Structure 1
């Protein structure tokens, strides 16, 4: 299950970076919407990847 979550998080990060790099000429609202969606998806992917990879503090069990 961790492998699936890892793959999904990496895909989310890649999609987020792609949306951050999209620029629509002559339409700033669409550009801003794409960049906001890109930031949200990239941050979500990083958060999921952090939990899957157990980076940062280790959880005691």
Structure 2
């Protein structure tokens, strides 16, 4: 289990934060528009995690290419 988490930790966080952002957008349009700052910070976090995802993908691809 630990090796699974070590390998896919970025994807797990990406799914959790993406789901949180999706629910925030839905609640933003249903309830009210006073929580715009929450959406901005959630989107910034989502983009930051997306950049980590790209970096991790490139690093794993390079390791795979070096191994054979």
Q: TM-score range, shorter-chain basis?
A: 0.5 to 0.7
Higher Cα radius of gyration: 2
Alignment length (residue pairs): 57
> How much has 1:12 moved relative to structure 2?
3.0
Equivalent residue for 2:36, pick from 15, 22, 28: 28
Deviations 1:34-57 (A, max 9, x none): 111111112212211x211x16xx
> Normalising to structure 1: TM-score of the pair?
0.57
Task: Indicate the residue corresponding to 2:12 in structure 1.
Answer: 11
Gapped regions of structure 1 (runs ≥ 5): none
More helix by proportion, 1 or 2?
2
